[in-house]
Chain A
Amino acid sequence: MVNIIWSLMAVIGIVYAMVNGTMEQVNKTLFESADEAVTLSIGLISILVFWLGIMKIAEKAGILSMLAKIFRPLIIKLFPEIPADHPAIGYILSNITANLFGLGNAATPMGIKAMEQMKKLSGSDKASRSMITFLALNTSGLTIIPTTVIAIRMQYNSASPTEIVGTTIITTFISTISAIMIDRFLYYRSVWRK
């Protein structure tokens, strides 16, 4: 899907330039924008190094597992099909806390382990109710600190790069609550239909 969108953007742009005589601008931006993208990626190093460094300390200091403890009762309620002492709950909690701090790379392996455990519980190749709830939580964002976005805003000399943290948290909260409600609604609808 992304392949089609990506190619289409370039193809439409070039064809449009042929028809409208803007080829000169296109040719110029082609190389300028590639250059800019590289400068930007290198500039991102500063924040990413700093933030991942701090998060490593947070992880070893047990702050992520402290948070996991706080969320535990909530998660047990959200996943009624998983027994409270099952290892799946632990992996789900680690995945969620890693996501909250924008540690996508740490969150994915934990998420896959959680899925493996949930598959053991259901024992089929069909998505179980718990799996869908888990993915609903993941797709709805779960970010407190959007590190990469802050880094990009800094690169473009924002007067206040972190200004969007507040709006991001509120929006994530709304979309997460909605995801859980939609998940519940569709689950009960699929049960009624049977």
Chain B
Amino acid sequence: MGIITSVSTWLIPCFILFVLIVATWKRLPTYELFVEGGKEGVKMAFSLLPFLVGMIVAISILRSSGALEAFINLISPILLFVGIPPEIIPLAIVRPISGTAALGMTTEIIDNHGPDSFIGKLASTMQGSTDTTLYILTIYFGAVGIKKMGYALKVGLLADLIGILASIVIVTIIFG
């Protein structure tokens, strides 16, 4: 398990090293390119803002009223029996439906349980490792005018289910 943790720590610095060496070798204006790309990051953070506010407020209402806890207590005997942490269920439900909504939930879970808690790590992995099926199907099929989706939705949702279960199993094995 130590290997996976050190890959996590080494991957990004080594990638940056590689990029900078190749770019300098090719005599590219590295700093100017960095600044140019960075400007998109500012835009991206601001475009996420309304989504995060909307989602985090809605979940906070649900949590502070006590309704979320009541719901989790209700379903937890079944989930704990099969080894699924009940706190992750709201995120697992929303993940295939909306990416920004799921990001809001992940944030709320990390805020509530701490980024280094088991649930925090699980939410982080789940958020990072699957993409929003409904969004992708709507955007891509919509853009080219495909009306009959065939078995596309089935493939996407089944893959999401496997991704969600896989993240629970993998995080349990490595951090559990």
Contact = CB atoms under 8 A, between A and B. Distances in A.
Contact of A156 (B114, B136, B166): B114
B125 to A, nearest CB: 4
Interface of A: 1-2, 5-6, 9-10, 12-14, 16-17, 20, 22, 25-26, 28-30, 32-34, 36-38, 40-42, 44-45, 47-63, 99, 105, 108, 111-112, 115-116, 119, 125-127, 131-132, 134-136, 138-146, 148-149, 152-153, 156-172, 174-176, 178-179, 182-183, 186-187, 190
A36 B115 CA distance: 16
Given A13-B65, A41-B45, A61-B19, A165 B12 contact: yes
A49 B8 contact: no
* Chain A CB within 10 A, most for which of B41, B44, B146, B163: B41
B45 A56 contact: no
A6 B55 contact: yes
Nearest to A166: B4
Given A166-B4, A170-B4, A52 B146 contact: no
Report the interface size class on chain B. 35 or more
A126 B146 contact: yes
B97 A1 contact: yes
A114 to B, nearest CB: 9
A171 B163 CA distance: 6
A86 to B, nearest CB: 16
A146 B128 contact: yes
A175 B23 contact: no
Interface in B123-176: 124-134, 136-137, 139-141, 143-152, 154-156, 158-160, 162-163, 166-167, 170-171, 174-175
